[in-house]
Amino acid sequence: MLGPRLALLCTGDFAEQAIALWAKSLAMGAELTTEEWAMAGELEAVFEAMYLMATADGELARDELLLLSQSLGAIISAGERRGGRRLELTLPLLKLGEVVERFSTALAANGLALRLEDVGRRLTSPESRDLALRLAAGVAFVDDFVAAGEMDALDALARTLGFNHDDALRVLREAHAALAEA
């Protein structure tokens, strides 16, 4: 199943810190520093990049939505294995549907190109940009095949994030290798 496998691509200090901060940011009255709010926002932009990749073929079928939700859930749950507290991580799991609906509404209102631009603006750190490209590449392999439209979307995301086509292909190969080993 993609979910647990995709969580393997969510590595590094940024991912670990951002997952915990994003989880905290969803709580009513959350108290985070400006830097923590920014990091939480970057993780949500990473998740939106994954969503946009899942919809790259122009639709998000029910099974694709389920797999995407399971993938996001696995990434959030991996935070518990990295030291996050179960109570803090329960809220994001409960709000996943709400978050995905927000992504869907924004995509319908603005289109893919504008959503990619917005994601690129919100991903300010090199670590978040790398994570977004890695996870989007993993989403592209949901069915062990990357269609032309998915490659075009991955290239567009890569350009938005300051990468080139060769970088996108390299990350795609790395994601495929990591997911195939799992």
Residue-wise pLDDT for 20-37, tens only, equals: 888 788 777 888 899 999
Nearest to 52 by CA among 165, 155, 173, 166: 155
Check residue 160 and give its pLDDT.
95
Check residue 23 and give its pLDDT.
79
Check residue 87 and give its pLDDT.
46
Helix residue spans in the chain (DSSP H)? 2-7, 13-25, 34-54, 62-81, 86-122, 126-140, 148-160, 165-181
pTM for the full model? Answer: 0.86
Counting as low any pLDDT under 50, the low residues of the chain are 1, 82, 86-87
Check residue 9 and give its pLDDT.
79
Check residue 38 and give its pLDDT.
94
- Report the half-sphere exposure of 161 (CA within 13 A, side-chain side): 29
Q: Count Cβ atoms below 10 Å from residue 142 Cβ, excluding itself.
A: 19
Helix/strand/coil for 124: coil
Helix residue spans in 55-85 (DSSP H)? 62-81
Check residue 41 and give its pLDDT.
94
Give residue limits of the domains in the chain. 2-181
The span from the CA of 78 to the CA of 132, in Å, is 17
Contacts of 41 (CB under 8 A, 6+ apart): 25, 122
DSSP 162: T
Burial class (CB in 10 A: 0-12, 13-18, 19+), 103: buried
